[in-house]
Amino acid sequence: MSITKRFYDNSAAGTLVHIFTLKNSKGTTVKITNFGGIVTSLMVPDKNGNFEDIVLGYDKLSDYEKKGPYFGAVIGRYANRIGNACFELNGAEYRLDKNEGENHLHGGFIGFDKVVWNAEIVTRNGAEALELVYRSKDGEGGFPGNLDVKVTYSLTEDNALVIDYYAVSDKDTVVNLTNHSYFNLAGHASGNILSQKLMINADKFTPVDKASIPTGELVDVKGTPMDFTKMKTIGQDINADFEQIIFTKGYDHNWVLNTNGNLKEKAAEVIDEKSGRVMEVYTTKPGVQLYTANFLDGSEIGKGGVPYYKNAALCLETQYFPDSVNKKNFPSAVLKAGEKYNHTTIYKFAVLK
């Protein structure tokens, strides 16, 4: 596996931004920019050996800099939503950016997706990897503590994109990091993903209110459109007359994984039978957010001038549960001062036999 580096563009603030290309001996290629840690391209083969770019994104840095759907980015400090944009920790109340109505979403007005990371090509386990480093200062977005974050991308010879997340803070804080890639296994320009099949290894999900904030319940998926315990097409129940689907205009929910943080147990799997491409997801995180690009409407013009419409892709964002900072029964996203936040997510690609 090799990594090459090239100039991408200057940011609006005049900072030099680069693109890093990770490529293995099979020809699988991932392009990542140190602006937002964004996966801008992911080329994987189909059953006939033809390569296609399977992630949504833009051609220009300036498009990533504008407010958008978070294509491919590292999300932090806190992925997903925090209700009323506030939480209490150690008896103190912290008020956060309100960047989605009354709520806080994906780190606020300037989250980790909108900053330039320091990038270095390093050697891990005998192979090159891309290491991105950023210091989130005390008070950024409203969060306490100087948080030193490291995200490492590596590509294996068996076509797995491995993302390692690491963080440490000098004050007690909350942390929830993820990647927001939009996947379409048929290719980013191929239309909707409704005929692609999905399995999520979860017996429960966290229902939400009309503002997409979890109610705090853990509800069984059995007998509902939220049941992906067995492989089914994404489109099968996406328009069901079901309150949770109506609230979010499709799927935009957190599933409670059965994996218990076991990186060797499959958390989710996507299959596109036409191309034969398969994506398996593994993670140490307790939850995964399925988002079916419900709010893309063709106004986002992507790579090669392609307009992206509703359901053009799906996101599988591994995470702590949304609003867990305000839900005592959810797994805790609190990071104590000096303790290490250490999580891994793997997106592994294959073809149907």
Beta carbons of 201 and 265 less than 8 angstroms apart: yes
Q: Which long-range contacts (CB under 8 A, 24 or more apart) does 209-213 make?
A: 209/247, 210/247, 211/83, 211/101, 211/102, 211/103, 212/81, 212/103, 212/247, 212/248, 212/252, 212/322, 213/81, 213/83, 213/103, 213/322, 213/323
* Nearest one of 352, 279, 333, 291 to 143, comparing CA atoms: 333
317 is catalytic: yes
Supply the pLDDT for residue 136.
98
Please indicate whether residue 180 is annotated as part of the active site.
yes
**Active-site residue (options: 104, 106, 180, 343):** 180
pLDDT in tens, the chain (353 residues): 899 999 999 999 999 999 999 999 999 999 999 999 999 999 999 999 999 999 999 999 999 999 899 999 999 999 999 999 999 999 999 999 999 999 999 999 999 999 999 999 999 888 999 999 999 999 999 999 999 999 999 999 999 999 999 999 999 999 999 999 999 999 999 999 999 999 999 999 999 999 999 999 999 999 999 999 999 999 999 999 999 999 999 999 999 999 999 999 999 999 999 999 999 999 999 999 999 999 999 999 999 999 999 999 999 999 999 999 999 999 999 999 999 999 999 999 999 98
152 secondary structure, DSSP code: E
**Distance (Å, rounded) from C-alpha 35 to C-alpha 141?**
18
Q: Tell me, what's the pLDDT at 125?
A: 83
Catalytic position from the list 52, 253, 317, 343? 317
Whether the pTM exceeds 0.95: the reply is yes
As a whole number of angstroms, the distance between CA 30 and CA 161 comes to: 8
Model pLDDT, residue 126: 87
Neighbour-count burial of 148, counting CB atoms closer than 10 A to its CB (0-12 exposed, 13-18 middle, 19+ buried): middle
- Kindly list the structural domains of the chain, giving each domain's residue range(s) and its CATH number in brackets, ordered by start: 2-351 (2.70.98.10)
